[in-house]
Structure 1
């Protein structure tokens, strides 16, 4: 494998594109990415549309990560797992930190018992770190770095901030799982750095899996590859950083593809984490 192809594979391995089509169709550029290592897709749909998109994805890549913005109904981790499994998802992209002590741990544990990985967030690098410490201790599979600016880091949002991701989340909390970016189509991100530039900054900061919004199409995908290649050539983005990120994402994908016990929707606990 030549160097340029190796880099392209690594970039695709660290991207999570999104779809919101009602017919479940996956665009050609996403299908090509899946062939080259893209770990999965975030499905921004509900009901039959979500199931159809998930089935289309799994038909192409049986062990794919199928992300979902979360359950439609409030409830605890078991109820959330039941709804997401029904939708064909194995990654809950919007697990909110619990307000009460132990709330986050219980929700994450219940959800992940049924094979649905939790992405806990948004992590902002400020405020109470207790829920994230709880989540890390409970083995949360992913933590989402948010859009809120990090004080003292030049206005950078947490998802682009090395002090927040590498310093606090990795360093102070000792978190070793996947760090996911919040979607990069937020106006503050697009206006400030553009999606390709933000993707590169996120990887440099320590993010492993960069989430694209449904509006990001083939042109944005190509531009991210170009920006990443330039950053690697210039020495701003070490290739080892992408290799580390890709390995973490691969571990998450393997975990999410393992069979688990069926979800139990009858147990519903009061939680703000959903």
Structure 2
């Protein structure tokens, strides 16, 4: 029983659910998850609604990760993006896109994080121009998001991102309730494959609910029992996510290098 409870806590600590506006409060399953170890939530709202949602999450978990797609693009630098995100209560920018010039990616990531907001750079595909991700890793980017199919690919995550680029921070999955994922693997199966591949934090979209979370828990338990998903892989993922969460509470912490 203790082993099953420990596994459930590990799984919860590697999930990032999504919340919309909080006119009716946070969904019960997200509230319970935050109490059990879920590290925070991605906020799908803007302006005052985004701030209210972030505040609702932090009422339950004061040091929660609160992710947001944030501003990014022409005319927005890292300093401006950090200020805009902090106004919404966000401490994790989930929408940092690589610039055509790799050194510009480094500057944006550095400016954003110096001003207290963790950057999640992506989408990482495992192919094509990898220099922006190498620059981001060198700048100490706190998170990198992977698209599908890279989210489910060990060669892409463990081989290229961890191995070739030497990235040691958090890898965030693509949103796993996208139709391409649901139709191909189902959310629970995709979550397990992503953890096996080396992803740390599974991002669930607004369409996910308590049933999806429970199904992921069950799928992870089966994969562990079958020997497909080592518990130490989940422990490694949970540790990286915990470090990101601590950094978001105290951005002066050094970046992870391995």
TM bracket, shorter-chain basis: over 0.9
Instruction: Tell me: higher relative CO, structure 1 or 2? Use CA pairs within 8 A at least 6 residues apart.
Output: 1
Secondary structure of 1:102's match? helix
Residues 96 and 120, structure 1, Cα contact 8 Å, conserved in 2:
yes
Equivalent residues in 2 for 1:100-111, closer than 5 Å = 100-111=101-112
Partner of 1:12: 12
Q: TM-score when scaled to structure 2?
A: 0.95
Secondary structure of 1:182's match? strand
Partner of 1:152: none
Give the whole-Å Cα distance in 2 for the aligned partners of 1:119 and 1:34. 21
Residues 24 and 53, structure 1, Cα contact 8 Å, conserved in 2:
no
Give the whole-Å Cα distance in 2 for the aligned partners of 1:165 and 1:46. 31
In the TM superposition, what is the alpha-carbon distance from 1:187 to its structure 2 partner?
1.0
Partner of 1:151: none
Runs of 4+ with deviation above 6 angstroms = none
In the TM superposition, what is the alpha-carbon distance from 1:71 to its structure 2 partner?
2.0
1:65 maps onto 2:65 in alignment: yes
CA shift digits 1:248-269 (9 cap, x unpaired) = 0000000000167xxxxxxxxx
In the TM superposition, what is the alpha-carbon distance from 1:25 to its structure 2 partner?
1.9
Structural RMSD (CA): 1.3
In the TM superposition, what is the alpha-carbon distance from 1:72 to its structure 2 partner?
7.4
How many residues are matched? 251
Give the whole-Å Cα distance in 1 for the aligned partners of 2:9 and 2:118. 24
Partner of 2:147: 146
Residues 184 and 199, structure 1, Cα contact 8 Å, conserved in 2:
yes
Equivalent residues in 2 for 1:194-233, closer than 5 Å = 194-233=186-225
Give the whole-Å Cα distance in 2 for the aligned partners of 1:208 and 1:221. 16
Partner of 2:256: none
Secondary structure of 1:84's match? helix
In the TM superposition, what is the alpha-carbon distance from 1:24 to its structure 2 partner?
6.7
Secondary structure of 1:245's match? helix
Partner of 1:235: 227
Residues 172 and 202, structure 2, Cα contact 8 Å, conserved in 1:
yes
